[in-house]
Amino acid sequence: MPVRSVKKDIFSVGSIHWDRRIFDELIPLPDGTSYNAYLIKGSEKTAMIDSVDPEKWTELEMNLCELGIKKIDYIITHHAEQDHSGSIPMLLKKFPEAVVVTNDKCKAFEIDLLHIAEEKFMVIKDNETLSLGNKTLRFLMTPWVHWPETMVTYLEEDKILFSCDFFGSHYAGSDLYAGENPIVVHGAKRYYAEIMMPFRTTVAKNVDKVTAYDIKMIAPSHGPIYDKPEIIIDAYRDWTSDKVKKEVLIPYVSMHGSTKIMAEYLTGRLIKKGFSVKMFNLPVTDIGELAMSLVDASTIIIGSPIVLAGAHPAAVYSAFLANALRPKAKFVSIFGSYGWGGKMVDQLAGLIPNLKVEIIEPVLVKGLPRAEDFKKLDQMIESLEEKHKSL
Ligand code: FEO
């Protein structure tokens, strides 16, 4: 990414990773990502805000070289995960006088994860400020967005919130600013679903905390800068609220077509009843799309055949993932087909203890579904309709 001026004496110096396709070996990244780092030149001191994934260190180094930076006084590190902290050891080698500024938890992580010497750190607390001369950095602790040590920085004079992962989006694009581009919010929802959603109520509190400040711009460490910050703030308020959509997710896997027939029947009937439905054929599903849908949906109905006396591994994975992501869904059910028998329903239900859901009567069918089996699926839908009246 070329060096770009965000405002007078504030520069974007990070890197775009156009072709990264998976994060944490878990999260598909269809639109790539970026590791944003910022340089702030105050009248007396110069500060870096975060760094880049170590794979992109050379790009950051070249950008700092282009700006003619000879001295960095402070490296503000918001979060110890290596896509932001991983190039700090290289920065310290190049700018040995720099002091690493962070909270005590992040310091401890970075000593372990990056072997940064303890004496290189300056530890700050919530609401503490650091002056760069004509610019003031205010540090706000925002734990669990998405690690215990996460924090953000509010640049008071320019009213910019440097938010690291918070509000970020996995989106590689050449525009410095998000404007009203819905693709950026889409990328932010994918990111929220996969790392923030498990901490939804804490994230909501942190949204309230940071929005107590007058924010003109949010500069995250992934994706474009929000020059209209209310768009992403409103989206976060919606995602973290207790509200659910009248939407049913049907993640399913079918070996010989019987479970698929049931999935399609359910989908068709639910649409007719006015539900919004998303069907996911698990073996060909982008898990990120499923995670994004879990942000809003009221209902999850998992479909699986019984294979070797248990649920299909693809269905097990989706239930395990949903349990880890802790979506705000209210209802769960299970359906599927078997030849020999087995404990698929108990097995899948046992995988989701974190979900605060009511289980709607599952429907299990021997072989191809018959007329009486479709009636049971109709009953499942009727039950769901009834439950939705109370929402
Ligand atoms: Fe972008 Fe939690 O790292």
Q: Are residues 79 and 147 in the same domain?
A: yes
Mean of per-residue pLDDT scores for the chain: 97
| pLDDT score at 342 | 83
Q: Using the atom order of ligand 1, give the atom closest to the CA of residue 150.
A: 2
Q: Are residues 51 and 173 in the same domain?
A: yes
Of the candidates 240, 269, 287, which is a domain's last residue? 240
Beta-bridge partners for 39? 11, 48
Backbone torsion region of residue 9, taken as left when φ is above 0, otherwise alpha when ψ lies between -120 and 50, otherwise beta: left
CB 74 within 8 A of CB 42: no
Q: Using the atom order of ligand 1, give the atom closest to the CA of residue 79.
A: 2
Residue 194 lies in a domain: yes
Q: Are residues 84 and 134 in the same domain?
A: yes
The rounded Å distance from CA 115 to ligand 1 centre is: 19
Q: Are residues 210 and 300 in the same domain?
A: no
As a whole number of angstroms, the distance between CA 281 and CA 315 comes to 10
Residues within a 6 A CB radius of ligand 1:
79, 81, 83-84, 146, 165, 221-222
Of 143, 173, 163, 294, the C-alpha closest to 232 is: 163
| pLDDT score at 25 | 82
Q: Are residues 360 and 266 in the same domain?
A: yes
Strand ranges in 253-376 using DSSP code E only, listed in sequence order: 276-281, 297-303, 306-307, 310-311, 331-338, 358-359, 363-366
Residue 72 CA: distances (Å) to CA of 55, 132, 322? 21, 11, 43
| pLDDT score at 9 | 98
Going by pLDDT thresholds of 50, 70 and 90, the confidence category of residue 249 is: very high
105-159 pLDDT, tens digit per residue, is 999 999 999 999 999 999 999 999 999 999 999 999 999 999 999 999 999 999 9
CATH number (domain holding residue 268): 3.40.50.360
Residue 186 lies in a domain: yes
Residue closest by Cα to atom 3 of ligand 1: 81
| pLDDT score at 246 | 96
Residue 391 lies in a domain: no
CB 324 within 8 A of CB 354: yes
User: Is the four-CA dihedral 66, 70, 75, 76 of positive or negative sign?
Assistant: negative
Q: Using the atom order of ligand 1, give the atom closest to the CA of residue 195.
A: 2
The rounded Å distance from CA 129 to ligand 1 centre is: 24
Going by pLDDT thresholds of 50, 70 and 90, the confidence category of residue 27 is: confident
The rounded Å distance from CA 86 to ligand 1 centre is: 11
Q: Are residues 225 and 251 in the same domain?
A: no
The rounded Å distance from CA 199 to ligand 1 centre is: 14
| pLDDT score at 341 | 85
Q: Which residues in 282-315 are b (16+ Cβ under 10 Å) and which e? A: beebebbebbbbbbbbbbbbbbbbbbeebbbebb
Of the candidates 190, 208, 240, which is a domain's last residue? 240
State the residue range of the domain holding 103: 4-240
pTM value is 0.95
The rounded Å distance from CA 158 to ligand 1 centre is: 25
Going by pLDDT thresholds of 50, 70 and 90, the confidence category of residue 198 is: very high
Q: Using the atom order of ligand 1, give the atom closest to the CA of residue 147.
A: 2
CB 127 within 8 A of CB 92: no
User: Is the four-CA dihedral 182, 187, 188, 189 of positive or negative sign?
Assistant: positive
CB 22 within 8 A of CB 29: yes
As a whole number of angstroms, the distance between CA 40 and CA 6 comes to 10
Q: Are residues 221 and 80 in the same domain?
A: yes
Q: Which residues contact 120 (CB under 8 A, 6 or more apart)?
A: 92, 98, 99, 100
| pLDDT score at 390 | 85
Q: Which helix (H) or strand (E) holds 207?
A: helix 200-210
| pLDDT score at 14 | 97
Q: Using the atom order of ligand 1, give the atom closest to the CA of residue 168.
A: 1
Residue closest by Cα to atom 2 of ligand 1: 81
Residue closest by Cα to atom 1 of ligand 1: 165
Q: Are residues 230 and 302 in the same domain?
A: no
| pLDDT score at 34 | 96
CATH number (domain holding residue 183): 3.60.15.10
Whether the predicted pLDDT of 23 surpasses 90:
no
Q: Are residues 318 and 371 in the same domain?
A: yes
Q: Are residues 185 and 236 in the same domain?
A: yes
Cα Rg of the chain, angstroms: 24
The rounded Å distance from CA 15 to ligand 1 centre is: 14
Residue 390 lies in a domain: no
Average pLDDT over residues 351-366: 97
Residue 66 lies in a domain: yes
Farthest CA pair distance, the chain: 79
CB 300 within 8 A of CB 266: no
The rounded Å distance from CA 24 to ligand 1 centre is: 9
Q: How many domains does the chain have?
A: 2
Backbone torsion region of residue 91, taken as left when φ is above 0, otherwise alpha when ψ lies between -120 and 50, otherwise beta: alpha
Q: Are residues 71 and 113 in the same domain?
A: yes
| pLDDT score at 315 | 98
**CA 234 from centre of chain:** 16
The rounded Å distance from CA 131 to ligand 1 centre is: 26
Of the candidates 193, 218, 240, which is a domain's last residue? 240
Q: How many CB atoms lie within 10 A of CB 84?
A: 25
Q: Are residues 199 and 310 in the same domain?
A: no
Of 149, 148, 150, 152, the C-alpha closest to 139 is: 152
Q: How many CB atoms lie within 10 A of CB 47?
A: 24
